[in-house]
Amino acid sequence: MNHIDDDMLMKLALELLDGEEAAGLEAHISECEDCRVRLEGIRRDMDLLGSIEPGLDRAVIPLPGASRPRFATWLRVAALVLFGFAVGYGVSRLEEDRIIYVVPHRVDVAPPSHTYPSFSYCESPDLSTESLTEAPGDSAVRQDE
Amino acid sequence: MNPDWNQLGLARRGDESAWRALVERHSPRLLKMVLLITGSHAAAQDIVQETFLDLYHRGPRHSRGSLGGYLSTVAYRMALKEKRRSGNLRALDYAEEPANDPSPLGLTLERERDRAVNEVIQSMEESHRDVLILRFYGGHSYGEIAGICGLPLGTVKSRIFNALKKCRIMLHEKGVTE
């Protein structure tokens, strides 16, 4: 039995052959232990070449522009403000026809009194009529009244 | 419609969960791809971030093709630019140093086997290495790789074949494989 050479086995492992050619080789390999072992060796080498683990798993990349409001957001805010103004203006137009009556009220405020009765200090209160004395200002107040 | 495009549309309208889903789905493979090309963790993080910002601000408005392919194309071009820029800087700063300095990626890999595999990948010529990275770490079809690199499909297929052949020999020489 003729064996498949290494170059053809490598092409088969790398999937470089067209379907018909690959099928022919695979039919042979299914019956040939030697070619099967060599093909497995090539596939092991390919796995080895692609097996370096460089310790970089994944990148953390934030979505660009996620931290600041986007144009669409500003547009929504502007539309909301305009809508608010429009509603306010409409309401104010409706209220223009209402007649408001203002009823004046007169409020009399008494002028503050500048004089107050004063009392002399004593250790113990003497409630007899004779002991009651008038301070000089008191008489003036009474005269005013 | 591809759910990726649908989620991009939602994200552009401010949907944070759609954006997060896109980033979580595509950033792991983009990070690996860019890291293997540039060899720098910081550059990989920056480029992947820039790639997603590009997608958001200037990405295609249509929903045809693969969004993963678009992201890989942008990231790959930025990675190549960064690789050339840092290569030029290194050439200016360390003209006396040996050319095969271990890259920052090589220094940070914990598993010995990963370091050996990385050395094999980095030792290949750029044209072969990039196709292999886009296939094995980006998970792209040959058609997508042809679009990303701007190459004919046949060239991509021959490069991936030659890249695998060389890598197998080097892995064997290093004693990583039997």
pLDDT in tens, A46-86: 999 998 887 777 778 888 876 555 677 788 888 999 999 88
Domain endpoint, select from B39, B73, B95: B95
Which residues in B36-66 are b (16+ Cβ under 10 Å) and which e?
bbbbbbebbbbbbbebbeebbeebeeeeeeb
Taking the model in full, what pTM does it have?
A: 0.68
A101-110, A124-133, B26-35: the lowest-pLDDT one: A124-133
In chain B, what residues touch A60 (CB-CB under 8 Å)?
A: 23
Whole-complex ipTM: 0.81
The pLDDT of residue B55 is: 92
| Same domain, yes or no: B81 and B129 | no
CA-based nearest distance B61→chain A, Å: 17
> Mutation test of the interface with chain B: which of A40, A56, A68, choosing the one with the most B Cβ atoms within 10 A?
A56
The pLDDT of residue B146 is: 94
Domain endpoint, select from B32, B63, B95: B95
| Same domain, yes or no: B31 and B77 | yes
| Same domain, yes or no: B74 and B141 | no
The pLDDT of residue B176 is: 81
Name which residue leads in pLDDT, B126 or A126.
B126
pLDDT of A121 over the 70 cut: no
Contact B137, B33 (CB under 8 A): yes
The pLDDT of residue B135 is: 95
Question: Which structural domain, as residue segments, surrounds residue B130?
Answer: 96-178
Domain endpoint, select from B95, B128, B162: B95
**pLDDT one-digit tens code per residue, B15-65:** 999 999 999 999 999 999 999 999 888 899 999 999 999 999 887 766 677
The pLDDT of residue B94 is: 46
In total, how many domains does chain B have? 2
| Same domain, yes or no: B42 and B130 | no
Asked if B45 lies within 8 A of A63 by C-beta distance, the reply is no
CATH at residue B122: 1.10.10.10
Banded model confidence at residue B84, pLDDT cuts 50, 70, 90: confident
| Same domain, yes or no: B77 and B133 | no
Closest CB to A45: pick one of B14, B19, B177.
Answer: B177
pLDDT of A38 over the 90 cut: yes
The pLDDT of residue B154 is: 96
CA-CA distance, A108 to A126, in Å (whole number)?
Answer: 41
pLDDT of B93 over the 60 cut: no
The pLDDT of residue B18 is: 93
What's the rounded mean pLDDT across residues B148-162?
A: 95
| Same domain, yes or no: B88 and B141 | no
In chain B, what residues touch A45 (CB-CB under 8 Å)?
A: 164, 167-168, 171, 177
The 3-state secondary structure of chain B, one letter per residue: CCHHHHHHHHHHCCCHHHHHHHHHHHHHHHHHHHHHHHCCHHHHHHHHHHHHHHHHHHCCCCCCCCHHHHHHHHHHHHHHHHHHHHHHHHHHHCCCCCCCCCCHHHHHCCCHHHHHHHHHHHHCCHHHHHHHHHHHCCCCCHHHHHHHHCCCHHHHHHHHHHHHHHHHHHHHHCCCCC
Banded model confidence at residue A42, pLDDT cuts 50, 70, 90: very high
The pLDDT of residue A140 is: 47
The pLDDT of residue A132 is: 54
Percent of chain A with pLDDT over 70: 65
| Same domain, yes or no: B84 and B18 | yes
| Same domain, yes or no: B74 and B8 | yes
| Same domain, yes or no: B84 and B111 | no
